[in-house]
Amino acid sequence: MKIGIVGCAGRMGRMLMAEVIARPDAELAGGAERSGHEAVGQDLGVLAGLDSLGISAGDDVQALFAAADAVIDFTAPAATAENARIAADQATAFIVGTTGLDDAQQAAIVQASEKTAIVQAANMSLGVNVLLGLTRQVSATLGDDYDIEIVEMHHRHKVDAPSGTALALGRAAAEGRGVALDDVAQKVRDGHTGERVPGDIGFATLRGGDVVGDHTVVFSGPGERIELTHRAASRVLFARGAVTAALWAEGRAPGHYSMADVLDLS
């Protein structure tokens, strides 16, 4: 199966290419970057930290989709929304790892999934997808007497906050309570905030160093506290999950799928 990588010179893009190259059941169809990016023209194998492959990074995303059975996208929200339209036009399976999409960009992904199989997950690791299920379950079991707070920490280069994974954990907690996250999310606290509003789901964002991704869901109740924590030690986890999703998506009916579908956790 031929897999293409958009954003091939990014932190995740390089890992994704190394993972595709390492898999016996996958072949690297190519890699694309923004026009004018210094990686355009460089060898994809070298960008992935491996031996030269004899294939150069390009800047023609349309051509990449035409050459691939599935394309993996860990880039930036505007690019991902545009690439979803290309995936729909060419009926190419599309794997979305990019986070921080606004409502219109998210709607573009959902609309494209009417024409092709799209797997979208803010976090492609098995552990976080298990944590999502646990969070939903604990939230449903404990009820409103337990205040829910989600704490996340990422490396200093991350550009969106709270992380897509923190928001997904918030949605899972809200689902457990039968409410919409948008109605109860408390993403920023500053100054004289007053007391905590019962039923709120709070977020705290830490940034620094080279932390790959830590998430804790805190359930704080009368006289006790439960903390569910996931710590990612390497981006390889996410790359492996994304390539597994691409292999799973090929030939699938059009639809908007999650990692829970890929990992059969639903």
**Among all residues, whose Cβ is closest to ligand NAD?**
10
In terms of CB distance, is 81 or 201 closer to ligand NAD?
81
Token match 């492996």: residue? 240
Name which position in 20, 26, 32, 249 contacts ligand NAD (CB under 6 A): 32
Per DSSP, the residues of 173-217 read: HHHHHTS-HHHHEE----SS--SPPTT-EEEEEEE-TT--EEEEE
Q: Write the interaction track for ligand NAD spanning residues 113-152; mark x where CB under 6 A is met and - where it is not.
A: --------xxxx----------------------------
Largest distance between two CA atoms of the chain: 62
Closer by beta carbon to ligand NAD, 37 or else 115:
37
The C-alpha atoms of residue 152 and residue 119 are separated, in whole angstroms, by: 24
Q: Are 198 and 179 in contact (CB under 8 A)?
A: no
Shortest approach of ligand NAD to residue 184 CB, angstroms? 23
Under the criterion CB under 6 A, does residue 162 sit at the interface with ligand NAD? no
Q: Is 13 in the site for ligand NAD (CB under 6 A)?
A: yes
- In the residue annotation, 192 being an active-site residue is answered as no
The residue annotated as part of the active site, out of 37, 115, 158, 256, is: 158
Q: Counting contacts by CB under 6 A, is residue 6 touching ligand NAD?
A: yes
Q: How far is CA 233 from CA 39, 125, 214, in A?
A: 27, 11, 9
Size of the site for ligand NAD (CB under 6 A): 26
Q: Is 97 in the site for ligand NAD (CB under 6 A)?
A: yes
Taking CB under 6 A as the rule, which mask of x and - marks residues 190-209 in contact with ligand NAD?
--------------------
Position 245 contacts ligand NAD (CB under 6 A): no
Q: Has 256 been annotated as catalytic?
A: no
Q: How many CB atoms lie within 10 A of CB 92?
A: 26
Catalytic residue (one of 2, 37, 154, 256): 154
Least distance (Å) between residue 231 CB and ligand NAD:
14
Asked if 212 and 233 count as a contact pair (C-beta separation under 8 A), the reply is yes
Residue 179: Cβ-neighbour burial (10 angstroms; 0-12, 13-18, 19+): middle
Segment near ligand NAD (CB under 6 A); pick from 30-38, 40-48, 107-115, 194-202: 30-38
CA distance 229 to 217: 7
Residue with tokens 């803010």: 122
Encoding tokens for residue 13?
């893009």
Catalytic positions, written as ranges: 154, 158
Contacting residues toward ligand NAD, per CB under 6 A:
6-7, 9-13, 32-34, 37, 61, 74-76, 79, 97-100, 121-124, 164, 238
